[in-house]
Amino acid sequence: MTDRNSADGRRNSWELELDKLDNMDRRTRFQVNRVDTTNADEDEMQKLTSNPDQDDQPDAADMSTGYDTKYAKSFRHFTREALPRLDNYRNIMSIQAAYRPTLDELHNATVHGKPAHTQLNMPQNEGEGVIKFGWIQGVLVRCLLNIWGVMLFLRLSWVVGQAGIGEAMLLIMATTLVTTITAISMAAISTNGEIKGGGTYYMISRSLGPEFGGSIGLIFSLANAVACSMYVVGFCESLTDLLRSYDLSIFDGGIQDVRIIGSITIVILTVIVVVGMEWEAKAQNVLLVILLIAMLDFLFGCFYGPLDDEERAKGFVGLSFETLSKNFFSAYREQDGESHSFFSVFSIFFPAATGILAGANISGDLADPQTAIPKGTLIAILITSASYLGFAALAGGSVERDAMGNVTAYEMGVNITDCPETGCEWGLMNNKQVMELVSLFGPLIYAGCFAATLSSALASLVSAPKVFQALCKDNLYPYISGFAKGYGKNNEPVRGYVLTFVIAVVFILIGELNTIAPLISNFFLAAYALINFSTFHASLAKPVGWRPTFRFYNMWLSLIGSVLCVSVMFLISWATALLTLLCVLALYLIVTYRKPDVNWGSTTQAQTYNNALMSVQQLSNVEDHVKNYRPQILVLSGMPSSRPPLVDFAWLISKNLSLMICGHILKGPVPQRARHALGSNAQDWLRKHHIKGFYSMIEDSSFENGAKSLMQASGVGKLKPNILLMGYQTNWLKCTPDELNMYFDTMHKALDMHLAVALLRVQGGLDYSALLSPSEEMRNGKVDKAAQPVPHSNSADSLTRNQSFSQMSQAASTTSDITPPRSPNTSQSRNSNSPVGPSGDVENGTPNAAEEVPEEKGGALTVPQEKTDKEKDSSRVNLYKGADGIELPKEHINNLTQFTRKQKKGTIDVWWLYDDGGLTLLLPYIISTRRNWSACKLRVFALANKKDELDTEQRSMASLLSKFRIDYSDLKIIPNITKKPQESTKKLFDEFIKDFTKDKDGVEDSAPISESELLAMKDKTNRHLRLRELLLENSNEANLVVMTLPMPRKGVVSAPLYMAWLETLTRDMPPFLLVRGNQTSVLTFYS
């Protein structure tokens, strides 16, 4: 019973409350019972809400039967386990997420998790009325309409005239190759998990990360918005041409008419899409029918042949092998002042294929995007490619390249291809209306052009807002979050529609779009390139989560597709290609600078892991060499935010050079949730202070054992600490003997493991946790216990679930759900009787405390608000605030930032007393190379071996420093270290040890420092006393003092006597670092 109560006490101390999550919309945290109780009777429901301890116990009345048939409907009553089901794997933000018991609930009999009965804050008919499309209506139709654009009716005949039938088919197949590879890559991505709204942006951002996804999403949205205006202008130009043929116009039959018709058209299209996707889909169906009729009109006209001599005079001679033969080979020529070749014609034709993403862009409106996107896109490419090839062959086989168009000359038997000097106006090369000429009923071709342009405009008008809405939901860029709001049951981006409408109207009024058309094509191609690269990168990184159900892809084929897309960008226009790349780079850098708090499990993260693992493995095969020595530091800091000066000093040495690990030791056991939160808090603090280090925690351990564990287990391979850095134990005179011995034995253990040992002491101490503001205390894991809510015993509501972190991180990947807050921080109370001093004592610059876990009202998990831009840009000084956020006194700010601020001109005094391998000299040299310490010059002090050889020893030391290439300003050899110390110094030392030379409780020879030890260590003690006098004489004004740490001989010197030596050396001195290397060279003068 006692053990159970003890366990309950430990559990209650760590029951965690997500206060800020409780204030969020309950819909985002909804958990459903893992038992389907739809048909459960009242008795069974009562059972579900009863004490979980009784769940596994059948009623006594039914024990004899061996089986309780009353609960046969639900296996749940016989086990605490959850059966595998889909809802268990949904992210926690999903309204369909189910509850899976935590490991603590399954493993610990005293922890109970009651089923959640939170009701949905949504109407029962929430899903009713939502329009979702299948693969035909949602993808196939849209892709067909976008690929069958005006290029089919107005430019395909010109392409055949320039390139010939043979090269035109080759050109079409090359275009098909690029789009097919891209579609295959897109199919692989879209079948590797659930696809939400956002289409191209969603796929790229979740594959390559927010930097690439954000940049492509923004320019892709802009490209669609401008493309919408281009298609509308194309429609207007076709309409004005038709009106002109009947001598009709609104104003001038030119640009003014285009602006008027275009503005009216874009208003009508916008109204259609704002009314709803259902009406837009109906409009697309009507346009598709018109387009197909126009295509059939052309086909019938080809096979029927010319209707009269006028058509023959204009070059339409009907299908014939002779015409096919003449037009099979290329005949590139100069037109409009531009010479053409295969690549120039290819660049003009390729934009016809930029419609393959029309279906993917509305992924949020598809019933099953994983099936619809690959199937619809690939079939659309197959159909359109076949139609383009067929139409190219038919046009080339039935129409001459050049024709006069003179009916009289034709009737007189003149060869219609013999053009006059002024050139011909008809034929494949000269007439854009060849399709109309060949068709049985010409106006249907105009209707086809109208349908093609309007359908493409509709698709772009829908795609741009949809993609932009998904981008805005992820909050990657500033000032655009307002466009994330959706309206209606389909979550329509009405604000995005309005923005797209405004952009389209502006460009329609400009009217001249030919100059920016290549840029729009390049924007689309950049998206294609990144889709291909996403598939290649995922296949290369090979994360375990990369399991696409679409198997017909190849990583190298995707890479080739990406290279081809970039190549086509430069073929279309090298200037616009460079501009596109610059736009992508600029937007990429903006996202990188903002560091959005998202975690989408991108392949970039997977590749980072692969690179790190490979590098560590390669490093393990590299033999150590003194020239490649790096000071890798394990700093016993506790929570990094508790002792900023100690962490800053470690970073001063390891910055951009080596490994730094912050070690944290807790006395009691810590739940997994709290461990995760502590780690998250620590890394967040390091990141906020721009410190590239790691955090490692040891729980349920004393300070000594925890430090030993950290020294033994920290790091991997060659990336392991070789220096143990601790704060100086300033309270050693007052702490218990056990605490003092643990601190002393930690140094012994480090030296036993051949680690270097460094102790840092600063006036004012290292522990500033008591001065931090409440908000900072929250982040550091320390809050006022009285302010915390009291968790309910045995309540699942006060316990956090296994999916809280893994699934909350996944939640950011669903643009249809809200983005969750960052990982919560845990609150933690520090023990005032920690082995290295009270936490609240600011003068106590202790190293890591083996901290007690809270015993009551365990610290609540707090969810920090998202950082503002102002906070991110704040200086080091502004990172520290006092109580209630008030400014700290200047003295404390100076102490907190003493190792990070710019140092005034001064010195770093190096007392290289004994040869420890050179670490005592190397560390201050590294510090002197830092920008903020560059004004401090090194002064080296060394001990003389013989008084009468001072000059020789000084020259020898100077020569050694020169060979080491250590730049110093002064060198001083100390000749009189054995001189008797002054009485005042002796009195100070005697004051330190007086309480340790007394027998305990009257027991003889029980004093911590015995008379025999004092006598044996007399000479060494006198040297340390003399060193203090020399330090006060030479280094009292230094910016930093670095001295060789006296060797703590095992079994020879006691902990109190050793600490008295260190206290004598460092009391009332500037920042003081005591260093003892592992007697292995870290400096060399060999090249």
pLDDT at residue number 921:
93
d(CA 1007, CA 660): 40
pLDDT at residue number 359:
87
CB 807 within 8 A of CB 797: no
Hey, what amino acid is at 1048?
P
d(CA 519, CA 1051): 79
Q: H-helix or E-strand containing 1042?
A: strand 1040-1044
Alpha-carbon dihedral sign for residues 295, 300, 305, 311? negative
For 734, the token pair is 């007052």
Alpha-carbon dihedral sign for residues 973, 978, 979, 982? positive
d(CA 134, CA 375): 11
pLDDT at residue number 206:
85
pLDDT per residue as tens digits for the range 49-82: 344 444 444 444 444 444 444 444 566 666 777 7
CA 855, chain centre distance (Å): 37
- The DSSP symbol for 931 reads G
**CB-based burial label for 704 (10 Å; 0-12, 13-18, 19+):** buried
Measured N-to-C along each axis, helices 517-541 and 199-208 cross at an angle, to the nearest 10 degrees, of 40
For 1044, the token pair is 């060789």
CB 440 within 8 A of CB 300: yes
CB 833 within 8 A of CB 846: no
Alpha-carbon dihedral sign for residues 284, 494, 274, 461? negative
d(CA 551, CA 191): 10
d(CA 106, CA 801): 12
909 by DSSP, 3-state: which? strand
CA angle 302, 304, 307 (to 5 degrees): 100
Q: What is the pTM of this model?
A: 0.70
Using only C-alpha atoms, the chain has a radius of gyration, in whole angstroms, of 39
DSSP codes of every residue in 313-360: HTTB--S-HHHHHHTTS----EETTEE--HHHHHHHHGGGGTTTTTTG
Q: How far is CA 527 from CA 203, 459, 465, in A?
A: 10, 17, 17
For 281, the token pair is 């889909």
d(CA 761, CA 751): 20
d(CA 522, CA 223): 9
pLDDT per residue as tens digits for the range 417-446: 777 766 788 888 888 888 888 998 888 888
Q: Which residues of the chain have pLDDT under 50?
A: 1-72, 114-127, 773-849, 853-874
d(CA 49, CA 233): 66
CA angle 595, 598, 601 (to 5 degrees): 120
Phi, psi of 1054 (to 5 degrees): -85, 165
d(CA 757, CA 750): 7
**CB-based burial label for 135 (10 Å; 0-12, 13-18, 19+):** buried
CB 196 within 8 A of CB 356: no
d(CA 180, CA 182): 5
SS in 3 state form for 570-618?
Answer: HHHCHHHHHHHHHHHHHHHHHHHHHCCCCCCCCHHHHHHHHHHHHHHHH
Strand locations in 259-300 (E):
none
pLDDT at residue number 555:
92
d(CA 369, CA 756): 59
